[in-house]
Amino acid sequence: MDLTTLTQTSGEWLRGTGPESDIVVSSRIRLARNLAQFPFLGRADDGVRTEIEELLQGPISSLPMKGELTYFDVNSLEALDRQFLVERQLISREHAETHGSRGVGIGPEENVSLMINEEDHLRLQVLRSGFALDDCWEEMNLIDDALEQQVAFAFSEQLGYLTACPTNVGTGIRVSVMLHLPALALTKEIQKVFQAMQKMRLAVRGLYGEGSQAMGDFYQFSNQVTLGPSEQELIDKLKEVIDGIIKYERRVRDELVVKNRQRLHDQVARAHGILSSAQTITSEETMHLLSSVRMGINLGLVDGLEIPTINELFIQTQPAHLQKLRNEKLESAERNVARAAYIRKRMGDSSHENN
């Protein structure tokens, strides 16, 4: 696997094959871990960072999993390649932008990502298509147990796993689900969801997690509490909340179809028309229009397109992906032209395949 090869494929989490995938794009579980014998990265110089990376590469490469992990030395990658991995959801923005020795091991289907020297010595991530938190946790548990047989993690009998940020102390777990909620956004009902999440101490973020805005009506919901409840308790709580949001979104979609079918169909058709014919288009407008088309597909208002194609377009029309696909650096205006051309081709190809 290399970065050029990744432009021609999509990760398992984008394929729209998991449970409730009309609304739930993906499920993710992350764990934060630190090696007991080293200081946290905030107190680690470049030499210590190098030692940590060298020590962890062996255990990571020998993990019992389907297919081989591919390891990338993130420190040696160009800025464009690091941004490409961020857009791919394989590393965080913090990992891309920090300094010194750091790397990432990526599974063959892009559903496992192991970041060395991000905020913590090790960030483990498992992704799955659809509403599949239990599957994520099952694989994550195996990976975590296998690593603990080879390295000693910083752990307190009183507090649990010790992490660089106090908000991760305890289980070190972040359980998150990415939802597509265009109907709740369109009717402004999403504000009620935000208020409820705040009361339940759950975080709501955008497509790229902390610090990112919600684009294309995509929202990541995750736990904020890591200390006290067990991992399974945190997972079960989020599952219960997400189940309620899924039902809410479906109900509002159904009401929109019954009460405003013509208007809704017009909105979807206009979005489809612009995407199919635009000569230049921004990333923000693309996300907004793809969101409408994705909802239209799920409501039977669009023919000739499938959810995996739209899911992929959300990622492949991002700046670094476009430049990797074109194999050249592009200024903002050039990217807008390239984005429009790429969308026209993809949507045209999908229509021909389904006719």
Residue 181, class by beta-carbon neighbours within 10 Å (0-12 exposed, 13-18 middle, 19+ buried)? buried
Same domain flag for 89 and 191: yes
Say whether pLDDT at 137 is over 90: yes
**Percent of the chain residues topping a pLDDT of 90:** 81
pLDDT of residue 100: 93
Same domain flag for 204 and 342: no
**Looking at per-residue confidence, does 5 or 46 come out higher?**
46
pLDDT of residue 205: 85
Same domain flag for 292 and 154: no
pLDDT 10s digits, 51-108 = 999 999 999 988 877 778 899 999 999 999 999 999 999 999 999 999 899 999 999 8
Say whether pLDDT at 11 is over 90: no
Say whether pLDDT at 273 is over 50: yes
Task: Quickly list H helices, 175-230.
Answer: 182-186, 190-199
First to last CA, the chain: 33
Is residue 114 classed as helix, strand or coil in its secondary structure? strand
Identify each DSSP E strand in 59-182 by its residue range. 70-73, 103-106, 112-116, 122-129, 155-156, 160-161, 173-180
Tokens of 208: 């790229």
pLDDT of residue 350: 61
pLDDT of residue 40: 96
Same domain flag for 228 and 268: no
**Looking at per-residue confidence, does 350 or 202 come out higher?**
202
Say whether pLDDT at 44 is over 90: yes
Same domain flag for 64 and 96: yes
Same domain flag for 155 and 242: yes
CATH of the domain at 89: 3.30.590.10
pLDDT of residue 212: 45
Is residue 103 classed as helix, strand or coil in its secondary structure? strand
What confidence category does residue 150 fall into, taking pLDDT thresholds of 50, 70 and 90?
A: very high
Alpha carbons 206 and 270: distance in angstroms, whole number: 25
Same domain flag for 195 and 283: no
Say whether pLDDT at 208 is over 60: no
Distances (CA, A) of 96 to 102, 115, 242, 268, 335: 9, 10, 30, 36, 21
B/e letters for 221-244, b = 16+ CB within 10 Å, e = fewer, are bbbebbeebebeebbebbbebbee
Q: Which of 250, 238, 336 is nearest to 286 (CA)?
A: 336
pLDDT of residue 207: 65
Please give the average per-residue pLDDT across 21-44, as a whole number. Answer: 96
Q: Which of 140, 133, 145 is nearest to 112 (CA)?
A: 140
Same domain flag for 208 and 266: no
Q: Which of 192, 216, 246 is the last residue of a domain?
A: 246
pLDDT of residue 1: 59
B/e letters for 255-278, b = 16+ CB within 10 Å, e = fewer, are ebeeeeeeebeebbeebbebbeeb
Segment holding 222, helix H or strand E: strand 218-223
Same domain flag for 14 and 98: yes
pLDDT of residue 211: 45
Same domain flag for 338 and 258: yes
What confidence category does residue 277 fall into, taking pLDDT thresholds of 50, 70 and 90?
A: very high
pLDDT of residue 164: 94
**Residue indicated by tokens 């909802």:** 295
What confidence category does residue 47 fall into, taking pLDDT thresholds of 50, 70 and 90?
A: very high
Q: What is the mean pLDDT of the chain?
A: 91
Distances (CA, A) of 103 to 4, 9, 191, 296, 349: 18, 22, 39, 40, 36
Say whether pLDDT at 213 is over 60: no
Say whether pLDDT at 112 is over 50: yes
Same domain flag for 240 and 304: no
Q: Angle at which helices 231-277 and 190-199 pack, to 10 degrees? A: 160
Q: Which of 179, 211, 246 is the last residue of a domain?
A: 246
Same domain flag for 253 and 274: yes
The count of domains in the chain is 2
Structural domain for 71, as ranges:
3-246
Q: Which of 246, 268, 294 is the last residue of a domain?
A: 246
Q: Dihedral sign, CA of 173, 123, 107, 2?
A: positive
Alpha carbons 25 and 37: distance in angstroms, whole number: 39
Residue type, 35: L
Indicate the length of the chain as a whole number: 355
